[in-house]
């Protein structure tokens, strides 16, 4: 897996991702402490609102940026967004009212909504070989999981010697180091193509390609499955550990660590698995695993037969399923668009996946408070299974990467036909070519 780090450009980008993730982890912890300082017992409401604002920014801003990102130098945009995020993080320790948190979080997450899809769309151009790209996706998944495990430990160590306001300083350093690493390499810039239509057409192009591609319609259903299962873990682990099992606070971190550990195990194994199996054969069973584990755990909770060991095993299995669905996502997006359309398509995935989280986060919280943990597990488990079934229906089992085709409506002298007739080869094309010539038949 580590052989992809031989590429200097990818090595620097991966280091930038690691450092920025560590800074973001410190920001999350510092923000919670700041909310408690300003709002006291209402800190949970403040953080919940901030999380909703984050999702709204992701859903609303990413498609707009994706429509115009190819008109801007990629490296300059990434560096600028890192600097914007560093400047906002620098302001956070000095705010005095809750509404200021909301404003700055919206601006910070809007910058992230511009940065993250652009960064993700850059990696396939840096690593054009699919095996290398698959290993890069696994490394990225590992980076996210390591951040969730190590950032709290780093924050705890820092809080023993400094006030929590200094954690924002760590965030600033992380974004500045990320900007420096991106600035240290040359990034490929996809060729611009002139698109017909106005702002609306350009803004919605990524979404339209996404929703017209069968495999990506299946991916959208899988996004819902992942969001439902993930929201259950993130929102209600503390409720299960403290309220249902009556265990101490430290065990909350242990349970979440098992989820992260399962995700890391899957990320380490997936490159070899995906070399042998198609993405569909990996992602659909993984989504079924997520729903099945949630429903079995719901049944155990209803019968009061759950145990600490059972929770740890269930959460580890959920981590495995979560990573097995999430990690190959970039492969599907890469396969479904040419280089000039990738930023728009990655932005569409970013927006649509976070729209699913925007739905399931409050559902997990409100159901847990109103109906209890067993009912919440059952509802979210059912949504997860329904998403996996829907994905199986929307994503054709015969989903080749390259499809033979003809151009019945193109003139005989069309350059696209001439090039292939001159070469003497039968023409094959990827599915995004289909988007260019006529609407998808399926």
Per-residue model confidence (pLDDT) at position 153 = 72
So where are the chain's domains? 1-131+147-187, 214-395
Positive or negative CA dihedral for 17, 267, 235, 378?
positive
Does the structural domain 1-131+147-187 have CATH classification 3.40.50.1860? no
- Residue-wise over 411-423: b if at least 16 C-beta within 10 A, else e? eeeeeeeeeeeee
User: Residue 314: which pLDDT band, with cuts at 50, 70 and 90?
Assistant: very high
Better-predicted residue by pLDDT, 29 or 289: 289
Positive or negative CA dihedral for 357, 361, 363, 368?
positive
Per-residue model confidence (pLDDT) at position 199 = 62
Mean pLDDT of 34-53: 75
Per-residue model confidence (pLDDT) at position 319 = 94
CA distance 42 to 36: 7
214-395 topology per CATH: Growth Hormone; Chain: A; (1.20.1250)
pLDDT at residue 343 tops 70: yes
Helical (H) or strand (E) element with 429: strand 428-430
- Using CA atoms, how far residue 356 sits from 59, 212, 343, in Å, is 10, 19, 20
Single out the residue of 212, 209, 205, 216 nearest to residue 67, CA to CA: 205
Largest distance between two CA atoms of the chain: 75
Per-residue model confidence (pLDDT) at position 415 = 40
CB 55 within 8 A of CB 231: no
Single out the residue of 84, 70, 392 nearest to residue 221, CA to CA: 392
Q: To the nearest whole percent, how much of the chain has pLDDT over 90?
A: 31
pLDDT digits (tens, 9 = 90+) for 109-121: 899 888 888 888 8
> Mean pLDDT in the chain?
82
CA atoms within 13 A on the CB side of 155: 23
Highest mean pLDDT among 26-30, 44-48, 360-364, 373-377: 373-377
pLDDT digits (tens, 9 = 90+) for 220-251: 999 999 999 998 988 888 888 888 888 887 78
Mean pLDDT of 340-347: 82
Phi, psi of 161 (to 5 degrees): -125, -15
Per-residue model confidence (pLDDT) at position 147 = 76
Q: Any alpha helices (H) in 127-213, and if so which ranges?
A: 130-159, 165-183, 199-212
Per-residue model confidence (pLDDT) at position 41 = 65
pLDDT at residue 194 tops 80: no
Nearby residues of 390 by Cβ (< 8 Å), 6 or more positions away: 218, 221
Are both 1-131+147-187 and 214-395 of the same fold? yes
Positive or negative CA dihedral for 239, 243, 246, 248?
positive
């Amino acid at each position: 897996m580590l052989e992809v780090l031989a590429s200097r450009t990818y090595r620097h980008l991966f280091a930038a991702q690691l450092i920025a993730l560590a800074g973001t982890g410190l920001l999350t912890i510092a923000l919670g402490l700041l909310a408690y300082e300003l709002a006291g017992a209402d800190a949970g409401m403040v953080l919940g609102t901030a999380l909703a604002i984050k999702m709204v920014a992701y859903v609303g801003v990413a498609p707009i940026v994706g429509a115009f990102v190819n008109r801007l130098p990629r490296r300059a945009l990434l560096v600028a967004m890192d600097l914007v995020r560093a400047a906002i993080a620098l302001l956070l320790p000095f705010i005095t009212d809750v509404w200021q948190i909301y404003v700055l979080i919206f601006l910070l997450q809007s910058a992230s909504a511009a940065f993250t899809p652009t960064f993700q769309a850059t990696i396939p151009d840096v690593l054009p070989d699919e095996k290398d790209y698959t290993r890069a996706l696994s490394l990225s998944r590992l980076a996210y999981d390591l951040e969730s495990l190590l950032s709290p430990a780093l924050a705890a160590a820092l809080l023993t010697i400094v006030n929590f306001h200094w954690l924002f300083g760590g965030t600033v350093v992380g974004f500045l180091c990320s900007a420096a690493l991106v600035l240290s390499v040359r990034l490929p810039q996809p060729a611009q193509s002139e698109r017909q239509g106005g702002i609306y057409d350009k803004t919605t192009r990524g979404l339209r390609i996404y929703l017209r591609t069968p495999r990506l319609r299946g991916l959208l259903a899988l996004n819902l499955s992942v969001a439902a299962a993930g929201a259950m873990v993130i929102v209600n682990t503390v409720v299960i550990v403290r309220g249902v099992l009556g265990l101490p606070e430290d065990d909350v971190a242990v349970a979440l660590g098992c989820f992260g550990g399962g995700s890391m195990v899957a990320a380490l194994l997936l490159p070899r698995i995906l070399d042998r199996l198609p993405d569909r054969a990996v992602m659909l069973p993984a989504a079924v695993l997520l729903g099945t584990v949630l429903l079995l755990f719901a049944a155990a909770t209803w019968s009061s037969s759950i145990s600490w060991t059972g929770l740890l095993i269930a959460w580890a299995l959920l981590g495995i399923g979560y990573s097995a669905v999430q990690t190959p996502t970039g492969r599907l997006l890469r396969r479904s668009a040419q280089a000039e359309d990738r930023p728009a398509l990655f932005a569409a995935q970013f927006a649509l996946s976070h729209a699913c989280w925007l739905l399931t986060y409050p559902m997990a919280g409100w159901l847990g408070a109103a109906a209890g943990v067993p009912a919440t597990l059952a509802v979210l488990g059912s949504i997860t299974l329904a998403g996996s079934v829907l994905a199986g229906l929307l994503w054709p089992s015969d989903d080749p990467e390259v499809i033979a085709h003809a151009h019945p409506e193109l003139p005989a002298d069309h350059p696209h036909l001439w090039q292939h007739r001159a070469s003497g080869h039968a023409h094959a094309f990827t599915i995004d070519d289909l988007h260019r010539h006529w609407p998808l038949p399926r």
